[in-house]
Every structure is written in structure tokens, then in C-alpha cells.
Amino acid sequence: MWKNILCLLGLLVASTLSAKGVYQTPDAFLNEAFDGQPPKPAVIWLTGETGKAVAGILQHKPNRLRVRYWARGARSAWILEEIGKEKPITVGIVIDDGRIRRIRVLAFRESRGDEVRHAFFTRQFENAALENGNRLDRSIDGISGATLSVRALTKLARVALYLDGQRRRHES
């Protein structure tokens, strides 16, 4: 009996730990986004209207005053974090001409909800853009048991698109 209980506890612990992981390093993500030659990072400040807009998208005040990004021409890459349920999820987002080209979960620290890292989910964001009210131009299907992770990635996609739009306005 004790053997069965210990075995069951072991399986429960293993299943909660399995969702956590680093799936791609930021450097590898940036090398992939810019064909092995990422540009130097730049910074956008989350102050004034930009800070208010980002807070509106996130539904809370951003945890930092500036965000680093990498850009060359119409392409930009963003490495952002948002809390899923309790821990941050690190996401890399590539934007070309105001549309998402790629979104990748780089690191997932929650005990559940890591299904958002798979291509079947992230493909929904490809070619997404912002429309009025800083909303995505499409709906994103949820995943049962990963609702908070889905919300986190959706918010980060919106933030990256918004900040890319700000970047392009300032560069023109």
C-alpha cells in the first residue's frame, strides 16, 4: 500500500514539474529572427501615453519602465514576460510590417498550461495585427486548463504589436 502511495505521489510531482522548462534561449531566438545577425538592442520607454496603453493591455501597471527590442527595417523582435497564474512566462515575438510572424514561448515556469508553447497554439498568432482598441484582428482559441497562459500570450502579442507601432511612428 505505501509503495502505491509513494508511486502515485511521484507521478503527481513529475507531472507538475514537466510543464516547466526553457525551450529556447533569447540569443537563439534573436539569431533565428535575424538570420544569425541580430542588430544591437534599442529601448522604448513605458511612460506617458505609451505606459498607459501598455497598462491597459496588460490590465496592470508594467513591472518595468523600459523594454528592450531589436529592429532592422520593418522587422522587430521583442522578448517579453507576463505572469500566467503565478510565475512569469517569457515569450519571443517577431513582427514584420505590423504583423506577427512568429511567437515562441522561450521559458515556462508555471506548473501547468505549457500547451501554449506548441505550434498548434502559436500558429493562431501568425499574421495577426492590431485593430481599434489595441485588440488583435482575430480571436485566439483557448486551451482547457491553460486559460491564464493563453491570456498571458495574447496580452504579450498585443503589447509587442502596440510597441512596434510606436517604434515605427518614431522612426518615420
Q: Report domain extents, the chain.
A: 20-171
Give the model's pLDDT for residue 13: 44
Please give the grid coordinates belonging to residue 102. Answer: 512568429
Strand order in the sheet with 75-83: 21-22, 99-108, 88-96, 75-83, 66-72, 41-45
Q: One-letter amino acid identity for 92?
A: G
pLDDT greater than 80 at residue 9: no
CA distance 18 to 77: 28
Mean pLDDT over residues 121-137, rounded? 96
The grid cell for 139 is 480571436
- Of 79 and 1, the one with more pLDDT: 79
Taking 80 as the threshold, does the pLDDT of residue 95 lie above it? yes
pLDDT of residue 11: 42
Looking at residue 20, what is its pLDDT? 83
What does the pLDDT look like over 147-172, one tens digit per residue? 999 999 999 999 999 999 999 998 87
What end-to-end distance do the CA atoms of the chain give, in Å? 71
pLDDT band for position 1 (50/70/90)? low
Q: How many C-beta neighbours within 10 Å does residue 148 have?
A: 17
> What's the chain's average pLDDT?
91
* pLDDT attached to residue 170: 86
pLDDT, mean of residues 14-19: 48
Global pTM value: 0.88
pLDDT at 4 over 80: no
